[in-house]
Amino acid sequence: MLNGVRILDLTWVLGGPFASYLLAQLGAEIIKVEPPSGDLSRAFPPHFFEGDSAFFLSINRGKKSIALDLKNPQGREAFYDLARKADAVMYGFAPDVPAKLGLDFPTLHAINPKLCVAELIGFHDQGEYATKPSFDIIAQAMGGFMDLTGEAGGKPVRGGYQIADLGAGLYLALGLLAALFEARGSGVGKKIQTTLLDCQLALLTWQAQNYFVTGEVPRATGSRHATLAPSEAFLCADGKYIVVSASTQAHWPLLCKAIGRPELADDARFANPSARIANVDALAQTLGSVLRQQPAHYWVECIGQAGVPVGPVNNVAEALAQPLAGLRNMIEPLANPRSGAALNFLGNPIKFNGACELSYPPACGAHTREVLRDVCGYDAARIEQLERLGAVKASGVARP
């Protein structure tokens, strides 16, 4: 789908590399431009597979790695030569860094007018926020996510994974796709920018709109949906939880019949969606007392057969082992080309004909010589000279 699109990826750690990983899954050629020391996430503890951090492995399949010292004039010139043959550049530096490195949009646009630039930052590129350190948990906190997450009246809770980084990566990839589409027609590239905080605010969607309409501040409700009922997690006899979401009027009597309490469908407290929300605590107590009488798998089967939305609350191992993960090819084994040892990776959630097979995450600088030769047209002597000058690194693996 993105065959023939070449993207130079200077991002690191999570949000940016996740964005470029998505584009690799769509067929783009991603050239990961790393410092000679490698992406910091290569050394993230605590889990490693044959010297590579599990964190790094998770989001760097399907990429080539070239190691350049962009502070070295010769390394920067090599990058400019790459930019002349690329469609886009992605980076996630602090806002003032691109200009210091000569990688700001005006400089790159002068080198290649068709080049699109995608930038991921924390908060803003001006004033005091331009130098404010940004991390996923800070964006979750400032963006309202943590206050909406957790049990009612409890402490704010961070999301189980880095929703601020990953959400910003999704927006960054989408914005770059739009810029690339326009550049194909106009011949002129654009700069697009996302911030961790902007994307957290954008993901508030209906909660923010409810606040705009009512002035009421949304609050954490645990697993319970704020406006639909019943729609929450329930404890079963075996100590496991299921989630039931019989929130439409059509589903409600079906659920009542499936759990052996058909009379609840006519209970005035639960007769319609508004009544169920108004009496949600009584509703949850009533359903909970029934669902605690049988194990989770029993209710998943009974309620599911009735056509009511229901599912088990899986841990990560259970989620990856469920049959649907296999049916949808969401687990893909891949051999490390350096050793032959096999390792499972997550599959591509976007299904399309002719989907590309992504290669194993690269060693730092594994493709330096190949890229400089094939993309920039450098001969072996020039590449060796750049190595001697410390401008590029053409081999080796960053170790923890």
pLDDT for 247 equals 81
Separation of alpha carbons 124 and 269, rounded Å? 49
Burial letters 253-281, b for 16+ CB under 10 A, else e:
bbbbbbbeeeebeebeebeeeeebbebbe
Point out the residues that are catalytic. Answer: 225
In the chain, what percentage of residues exceed pLDDT 70? 99
At residue 200, φ and ψ (nearest 5 deg) are -65, -40
| pLDDT mean over 378-389 | 96
Tell me what the pLDDT averaged over the chain comes to: 95
Q: How far from chain centre, in Å, is Cα 39?
A: 18
Q: What is the DSSP string of 293-314?
A: TS-HHHHHHHHHHTT--EEE--
pLDDT at 398 over 50: no
- Where is average pLDDT lowest: 139-153, 162-176, 312-326, 352-366? 352-366
Amino acid at 284: A
Burial tier of 339 (Cβ tally within 10 Å: 0-12, 13-18, 19+): exposed
Separation of alpha carbons 243 and 284, rounded Å? 12
Separation of alpha carbons 13 and 258, rounded Å? 47
Category of 102 on φ-ψ map: left (φ > 0), alpha (ψ -120 to 50) or beta: left
Please tell me whether the overall predicted TM-score, pTM, comes out greater than 0.85 for this model. Answer: yes
Q: How far is CA 129 from CA 123, 166, 206, 251, in A?
A: 6, 21, 27, 48
| pLDDT mean over 131-143 | 95
pLDDT for 396 equals 52
Separation of alpha carbons 395 and 400, rounded Å? 16
Q: What is the DSSP string of 261-301?
A: -GGGGG-GGGSSHHHHHHTHHHHHHHHHHHHTTS-HHHHHH
Structure tokens at 396: 């080796």
Q: Are 78 and 66 in contact (CB under 8 A)?
A: no
30 strand-pairing partners = 7, 63
Q: Which residues lie below 8 Å from residue 270, measured CB to CB, with a gap of 6+? A: 252, 264, 276, 279, 283
User: Cis link prior to 133 (omega < 30° from 0)?
Assistant: no
- Give the angle subtended at the CA of 387 by the CAs of 8 and 67, to the nearest 5°: 25
Q: Which CATH number fits domain 231-321: 2.10.240.10, 3.30.1540.10, 3.40.50.300, 3.90.1150.10?
A: 3.30.1540.10
pLDDT for 354 equals 83
Q: How far is CA 90 from CA 303, 318, 370, in A?
A: 47, 35, 21
Q: Which residue, 121, 150, 32, is CA-closest to 82? A: 32
Q: Which CATH class, in words, describes the domain spanning 6-202+334-393?
A: alpha beta
pLDDT for 356 equals 79
Q: What is the pLDDT of residues 71-121, one digit of tens each?
A: 999 999 999 999 999 999 999 999 999 999 999 999 999 999 999 999 999
| pLDDT mean over 300-322 | 98
Structure tokens at 186: 């106009």
Q: What is the pLDDT of residues 47-76, one digit of tens each?
A: 999 999 999 999 999 999 999 999 999 999
pLDDT at 400 over 70: no
pLDDT at 24 over 60: yes
**Domain 6-202+334-393 matches domain 231-321 at the CATH topology level:** no
In the chain, what percentage of residues exceed pLDDT 90? 95
| pLDDT mean over 213-240 | 96
pLDDT for 397 equals 43
pLDDT at 37 over 70: yes
Q: Where are the domains of the chain?
A: 6-202+334-393, 231-321
